[in-house]
Amino acid sequence: MQTDFLDKLRDILGEKGLLTGQDVHAGYHTDPRGTGDVRPEAVLRPASTSQVSQIIAFCHEASQPVVVQGGLTGLVAGARPEHGEIVISLERMNKIEEIDTKAGKITVQAGTPLQVVQEAADAHDLVYPLDLGARGSCSIGGNLATNAGGNRVIRYGMTRDLTLGIEAVLADGTIVNSLNRHIKNNTGYDLKQLFIGSEGTLGLITRATLRLFPKPKTQVVAFCAADTFDAVLDLMTHMRSALGSDLSAFEVIWAKTYEAILADVAGVKAPVPLGHAFYVLIEMMGSDVVNDSEKFETCLGEALEKDMIVDAVLSRSTAEIDAFWDVRDGMAYAMGKQQPAVGFDISLSIADMKTIEEVLLTRLQSALGEVRLFIGGHLADGNLHLVAKATGDRPQPRDQIQDIVYEWVGEVGGSISAEHGIGTLKRAYLRQSRSATELALMRTLKQAMDPKNILNPGRVFSSQANHLG
Ligand SMILES: Cc1cc2nc3c(=O)[nH]c(=O)nc-3n(C[C@H](O)[C@H](O)[C@H](O)COP(=O)(O)OP(=O)(O)OC[C@H]3O[C@@H](n4cnc5c(N)ncnc54)[C@H](O)[C@@H]3O)c2cc1C
């Protein structure tokens, strides 16, 4: 990289804003999937939207590809640099700019960690309901770019549903201020949607206005065991109809995954003993301080009487609520511990989840010999995470495992990515979940908004011109 090129970037960003040489530590090319092969030559750390605009305009002029980084917790290798790219890290753009408690809105810079936003809302007796295991490290910009889902989609929706407005910088440095602050605003195209879920390929998100909600006054969590999938479905229907919108999470863990969590995640304790087929975390958040706990307990009692569950414990304190959620959050860590293995984040109709373990184990084992499967996730959203691991002393047959799993997902009309995005890891399979016309429209948008292909090239689509997948 030319010295005068870096000098110009230093002029824009100042000394703190440009890292090169030894200062570019492994944290800038490591994500939960491991350390990438490419150590970037430079990391740009803008402190304002104006600086982002200037550096992108400069990179655009020089046709210099960039990759955008938030907290680097993404699970599809989208934020790791590839050859020839420099990093733009939003880590210095981490301020909460405004909270409007009456209207329930918060405006933040894109590098702000999710947990900081949650805590800011909490301090005003409000809630920013997006929640996921990586809350302490992931950024609002990364949440928006991947349209993150998480644990409370059943009640509040995905990041898209929590976003009022966005400010973004386009590939040529143009700042698009679409920081709408209204719930209702039908004035032409809803431009923020171009950036939400597009994984940094259409623009770099710099600020966002997000929705806040009244903080629920009660929170009760149960951890249950069930012996059949039909019983789990009956339980979900029962809890949904009894609790309505107060049902805030319904998370299911398959037996093998529960075993792995208890074995591999430090500090978690089994809320209910091993020995069942499914484990379910159910959460209610309501507003009736006097009656909610009793209502929840009555619903669970009915579920026990009707054999939907065979065992259950109910939280009696905040510490127990946290302990139950630690088991659920431990799923990501237990699955990560299976590496080398192949991870999936799929959407399915709930009916197809009944046979997932049997069908996939049969198909994978007939092709590959002994394979272990770990399954669990946001059942009520139709979203499961799974990890497949071929055992034995051999390299992981990644492509074969992916082909077999995604072929089945295609057969049952599922989606190859429910909430993690496509990144670089899943792009070869994108055509399995999107039609040719949808892919062509995506290509048209990318070409129109980033004709030089400098923004996150190769994420979602292959970098080759006119080639998707
Ligand atoms: C333990 C654990 C649990 C998780 N649980 C969930 C879960 O339940 N639900 C879920 O959806 N995800 C989950 N994830 C995945 C991950 O946390 C989310 O995808 C998160 O939203 C990524 O945020 P980030 O700031 O780390 O983004 P990064 O990893 O830094 O980036 C992700 C993508 O967004 C792009 N990007 C980042 N910032 C910007 C920006 N400002 N403008 C434009 N593009 C940008 C990057 O280039 C990259 O393509 C989990 C991850 C872990 C490690």
At 225-273, the pLDDT tens digits run 999 999 999 999 999 999 999 999 999 999 999 999 999 999 999 999 9
- Which pLDDT value is given to residue 181? 81
376 shares a domain with 312? no
Q: CA-to-CA distance for 78 and 75, rounded, in angstroms?
A: 8
Residue 131 lies in a domain: yes
Q: Report yes or no on 405 lying in a domain.
A: yes
pLDDT in tens, 350-398: 889 999 999 999 999 999 999 999 999 999 999 999 999 999 888 899 9
| Same domain membership, residue 344 and residue 331 | no
Query: 276 and 327, same structural domain?
Result: yes
CATH number of residue 321's parent domain: 3.30.70.2190
Scored b (16 or more CB within 10 A) or e, 199-215 reads bbbbbbbbbbbbbbeee
Answer whether residue 255 is part of any domain: yes
**317 burial via Cβ count (<10 Å: 0-12, 13-18, 19+):** exposed
Distance 71 CA to ligand 1 centre (A): 7
Query: Residue 464 — pLDDT band, cuts 50, 70, 90?
Result: low
Query: Do residue 83 and residue 105 come from a single domain?
Result: no
Q: Is any atom of ligand 1 closer than 6 Å to the C-beta of 67?
A: yes
Task: Check pocket membership of 117 for ligand 1, CB cut-off 6 A.
Answer: no
- CATH number for the domain spanning 27: value is 3.30.43.10
The verdict on the CB of residue 150 being under 6 Å from ligand 1 is yes
**Tens of pLDDT, residues 131-147:** 998 999 999 999 999 99
> In testing the pocket of ligand 1, which one of 132, 159, 253, 328 has its CB within 8 Å of the most ligand atoms?
132
> From ligand 1's centre to the CA of 69, what distance in Å?
9
Residue 439 belongs to a domain: no
Residue with CA closest to ligand 1 atom 50: 134
In a domain, 464, yes or no: no
* 85 belongs to a structural domain: yes
276 and 317 both lie in a single domain: yes
Mean pLDDT score, 95-111: 97
Could you read off the pLDDT of 29-39 as tens digits, one per residue? 999 888 888 99
In contact, 430 and 469? CB cutoff 8 Å: yes
**Mean pLDDT (the chain, rounded):** 95
The protein residue whose alpha carbon is closest to atom 9 in ligand 1 is 150
Nearest atom in ligand 1 to 67's CA: 47
Kindly state the average pLDDT of the residues 196-214: 98
Spatial separation of the C-alpha atoms in residues 156 and 126, rounded to whole Å: 14
pLDDT for 468 beyond 60: no
Residue that terminates a domain, selected from 163, 187, 214: 214
pLDDT band with cut points at 50, 70 and 90 for residue 183: confident
Question: What's the pLDDT at 359?
Answer: 96
75 Cβ inside 6 Å of ligand 1: yes
Domain boundary among the residues 56, 73, 89 is at 89
70 close to ligand 1 (CB < 6 Angstrom): yes
19 lines ligand 1 (CB under 6 A): no
Residue 466's pLDDT is 44
Atom of ligand 1 nearest to the CA of 131: 8
Q: In the structure, what pLDDT confidence band is assigned to residue 22 with cuts at 50, 70 and 90?
A: very high
Total number of domains constituting the chain: 4
Going by C-alpha positions, the residue among 232, 236, 297, 223 that lies closest to residue 262 is: 223
Query: Distance between CA atoms of 74 and 87, rounded to whole angstroms?
Result: 15
Q: What is the pLDDT of residues 403-419, one digit of tens each?
A: 999 999 999 999 999 99
Same-domain pairing of 317 and 395: no
In a domain, 443, yes or no: no
How far is CA 238 from each of CA 184, 228, 300, 465, rounded to the nearest angstrom? 34, 15, 9, 51
In a domain, 436, yes or no: no
Query: Which one of 88, 138, 252, 456 would you pick to mutate in the ligand 1 pocket, going by the greatest count of ligand atoms within 8 A of its CB?
Result: 138
Question: Tokens representing 175?
Answer: 């700042």
Residue 452: pLDDT above 60? yes
Looking at 335, 351, 376, the residue that finishes a domain is 335
State the pLDDT at residue 469: 46
Domain that holds residue 356: 339-428
Q: What is the mean pLDDT of residues 48-64?
A: 98
pLDDT in tens, 284-335: 999 999 999 999 999 999 999 999 999 999 999 999 999 999 999 999 999 9
